Structure 1
Amino acid sequence: MTDGDLNERARHLLRVMVQRHIRDGQPVGSRTLTRESGLDVSPATVRNVMSDLEELGYVRAPHTSAGRVPTDKGYRFFVDSLLTVQSLSHEHLKDRIIRLDADEDAGSDALIDSASNLLSGLTRLAGVVTLPRRSAVSLRHVEFLPLTDRRVLAILVLNEHEVQNRIVHTDRDYSPEELQMVANFLNQEFAGREVNSVRSALLERMQTDRERMNALMASVIEVGGKVFGEDGTGRDEGYVVAGQTNLMEFDELSNVEKLRGLFEAFTQKRDILHILDQCLAADGIQIFIGEESGYHVFDGCSLVTSPYSAEGEVLGVVGVIGPTRMEYDRVIPIVDMTARLLGAALNKKH
């Protein structure tokens, strides 16, 4: 056999072996594979085929005489060439879909939370949904009101008529007069500009010699920097995740160091976001298996993703993170359906 020309018997045995390993997580021996394959062949023949598949990199033997498990390459071939995806009926999801489809009054944030919980609940894995990406947002006007306990209410007018209220915590109390001066400065300098450029400008000024800053600029840097936050609007741009603890149920992910790395990745968000960003331009389902993600922390894991859209515009990505031996035939249609439902629900908002 060659890498690009697996015969039908080898393909069948590889499919059965992967399905068995997904089911119980244990190495699959030749006798078990002979019995479950339904083929009229001997265990010795199966061993020879498995030896060929191992030489080609589709399977590996974790221990001597302990059977074989699929490699990332084996899972990739299985997903691309051997997998039969389950059909997912509306009735099967009816009791869960109601969360996304029926609540007309739910805000976008609530819909994102529901989508991540839907993914996690149906797959028993970790469900992730990126927050909707915003089109260009321009600052029109900003006002500040002092609150108690070193808090400031920021009132932002964005684009033509969108108003956002945000509460920020400051390092000291600010008088109404100080906040008015900060607002006057921001309105004079940045009104009409795209908000991400406001944040960039504030960060640049923050890098200057702090000893040369006057009191006004110091106030602008602190209050303005906190108001415009990570993405220029004070919003924690990223994703919502649910069901991380489900991953503890899989032996291959349950050791302390592996879990610590995964949970740190969920918390820091940067690496997962970088992977999910690559899926924004994908046409439907995209799958990263093991080392394909490019991040060592996700070795042994797979990510199944799909972009979601509203009014013809791709807004974000929904996905599931789990072990490489996840039930792809079930997970893929669930991710696809959730992306469609979320897009439809957000369409109603618009």
Structure 2
Amino acid sequence: MLDDRAKLLMKALVERYIADGQPIGSRTLSKASGLDLSPATIRNVMSDLEDMGLIVSPHTSAGRIPTARGYRLFVDTMLTAQPGPLAPPKLVAEQPQKVIVNAANLLSSLSQFVGVVMAPRRTSVFRHIEFLRLSEKRFLVIIVSPEGDVQNRVIFTEVDYTSSQLVEAANYLNGHYAGLSIEQVRERLKNEVETLRGEIATLMQAAVNVGSEALAREQDEVVISGERNLLSVSDFSGDMGHLRRAFDLFEQKTQLMRLLDISSKAEGVRIYIGGESQVVPFEELSIVSAPYEVDGQVVGTLGVIGPTRMPYERMIQIVDITSKLVSNALSHQK
């Protein structure tokens, strides 16, 4: 627990470091905090903060900078985001993909960092399914969504199937499960496998599995904008290792998808400090994110990725307003 004096000094140190990017010494901190304290007293408090793992002295510098734990304390207990004059342009209600791309560009241009948007999740519902024999034990599964989207996937089976068996399996799926999600079909097939002929049940299970994977891959889309902005951030431009790790994150997207998926389960704006957990494994990066909705239902997440030393109050405003704009634009589409 920090006393009021230590909290004020910690808050002043983080704010000054975010603004200047330079290690903060006791004299600078005395001015920034507005406290009438001797340099020796301030040094003692800074020593205590360092012992608590909240600040650290980089290299041989006499100044201090916040750690991931220090940023977390600042964000959780000291940050007071005030409504500001920020007024981003409107996102015109167009095709959903266009809205998502525009939102990523907007986040990037307003923040001058990286904008990320996870595309809306769609329920993996199918309207119609067909099987086409390509060769022995090799079949094409054709899945049509309620919107008319068509997914084609090849499956390989341990046994061969006749044309009549393929028609039988397709008719059963279309007759009993059309309109349900792939996940619901999978669960029902588990329970009804005893009532179906074994070979037909195996074929349908294979089709459902490949259909689920196809729809998941289609939906797991992250739109990223403004990666090049990090080239002009001093925290990255001076260290190619930091920059390379950041670009690896954007390239692979898997870690990013996991993070955005976690964010979608939380209400409001969330801040993830780099290095404090495996969620954001790079100490140099932080992410400010928020879920967005369509007709009151959370369908995706968006956010800003930038250096740990970022102006969090402004980023919160940018992300919060953009999530509302996206929700509004998508909800008005019919």
TM-score, reference length from structure 1: 0.74
The answer to whether the 8 Å contact 1:139/1:194 transfers is no
| CA distance, structure 1, for counterparts of residue 30 and residue 325 of structure 2 | 42
The answer to whether the 8 Å contact 2:183/2:212 transfers is no
Question: Is 1:241 the counterpart of 2:229 in the alignment?
Answer: no
Q: Deviation per CA, 1:50-88: give whole Å up to 9, x if none.
A: 111111111110123430000111111111111121313
User: Quick one: which of 89, 111, 115 aligns to 1:97?
Assistant: 89
The answer to whether the 8 Å contact 1:265/1:272 transfers is yes
Question: Is 1:53 the counterpart of 2:53 in the alignment?
Answer: no
Counterpart amino acid of residue 319 in structure 1: G
Relative to structure 1, the CA distance from residue 142 to residue 131 in structure 2 (aligned partners, 3 Å threshold; closer, same or farther) is: farther
Question: Is 1:6 the counterpart of 2:7 in the alignment?
Answer: no
Relative to structure 1, the CA distance from residue 52 to residue 304 in structure 2 (aligned partners, 3 Å threshold; closer, same or farther) is: same
| CA distance, structure 2, for counterparts of residue 284 and residue 139 of structure 1 | 35
Question: Is 1:68 the counterpart of 2:64 in the alignment?
Answer: yes
Counterpart amino acid of residue 97 in structure 1: P
Corresponding residue SS for 1:318: strand
Please state how far the C-alpha of 1:244 moved relative to its aligned partner.
Answer: 1.3
1:293-312 correspondence to structure 2 within 5 Å? 293-295=277-279, 297-312=281-296
Please state how far the C-alpha of 1:126 moved relative to its aligned partner.
Answer: 0.9
Relative to structure 1, the CA distance from residue 289 to residue 233 in structure 2 (aligned partners, 3 Å threshold; closer, same or farther) is: closer
| CA distance, structure 2, for counterparts of residue 120 and residue 306 of structure 1 | 15
Counterpart amino acid of residue 266 in structure 2: A
| CA distance, structure 2, for counterparts of residue 116 and residue 142 of structure 1 | 37
Relative to structure 1, the CA distance from residue 232 to residue 185 in structure 2 (aligned partners, 3 Å threshold; closer, same or farther) is: farther
TM-score, reference length from structure 2: 0.77
Match of 2:108 in 1: 120
1:161-176 correspondence to structure 2 within 5 Å? 162-164=147-149
The answer to whether the 8 Å contact 2:124/2:215 transfers is no
The answer to whether the 8 Å contact 2:119/2:223 transfers is yes
User: Quick one: which of 256, 260, 267 aligns to 1:272?
Assistant: 256
Match of 2:136 in 1: none
User: Quick one: which of 11, 17, 32 aligns to 2:28?
Assistant: 32
Please state how far the C-alpha of 1:260 moved relative to its aligned partner.
Answer: 2.1
Once the two structures are overlaid, the 10-residue window that deviates more, 250-259 or 261-270, is 250-259
| CA distance, structure 2, for counterparts of residue 124 and residue 116 of structure 1 | 12
Match of 1:130 in 2: 118
Please state how far the C-alpha of 1:343 moved relative to its aligned partner.
Answer: 0.7
Corresponding residue SS for 2:302: strand
Q: Deviation per CA, 1:86-115: give whole Å up to 9, x if none.
A: 3134xx32xx422x1xx23x1000001111
| CA distance, structure 1, for counterparts of residue 277 and residue 185 of structure 2 | 33
The answer to whether the 8 Å contact 2:68/2:275 transfers is yes
Counterpart amino acid of residue 63 in structure 2: G
Question: Is 1:85 the counterpart of 2:77 in the alignment?
Answer: no
Corresponding residue SS for 2:18: helix
Please state how far the C-alpha of 1:258 moved relative to its aligned partner.
Answer: 2.3
| CA distance, structure 2, for counterparts of residue 85 and residue 54 of structure 1 | 26
Corresponding residue SS for 1:84: coil
Counterpart amino acid of residue 290 in structure 2: S
Please state how far the C-alpha of 1:165 moved relative to its aligned partner.
Answer: 5.1
Match of 1:175 in 2: none
User: Quick one: which of 290, 308, 321 aligns to 2:274?
Assistant: 290
Counterpart amino acid of residue 253 in structure 1: F
Corresponding residue SS for 1:326: coil
| CA distance, structure 2, for counterparts of residue 234 and residue 56 of structure 1 | 44
Counterpart amino acid of residue 248 in structure 1: L
Counterpart amino acid of residue 109 in structure 1: Q
Match of 1:210 in 2: none
| CA distance, structure 2, for counterparts of residue 15 and residue 253 of structure 1 | 24
CA RMSD of aligned residues (A): 3.5
Corresponding residue SS for 1:298: coil
State the percentage of identical aligned residues. 40
The answer to whether the 8 Å contact 1:229/1:236 transfers is no
1:98-247 correspondence to structure 2 within 5 Å? 98=90, 100=91, 103-104=92-93, 106-141=94-129, 156-158=144-146, 162-164=147-149, 187-188=170-171, 190-191=173-174, 192=177, 194-195=181-182, 230-232=213-215, 235-247=218-230
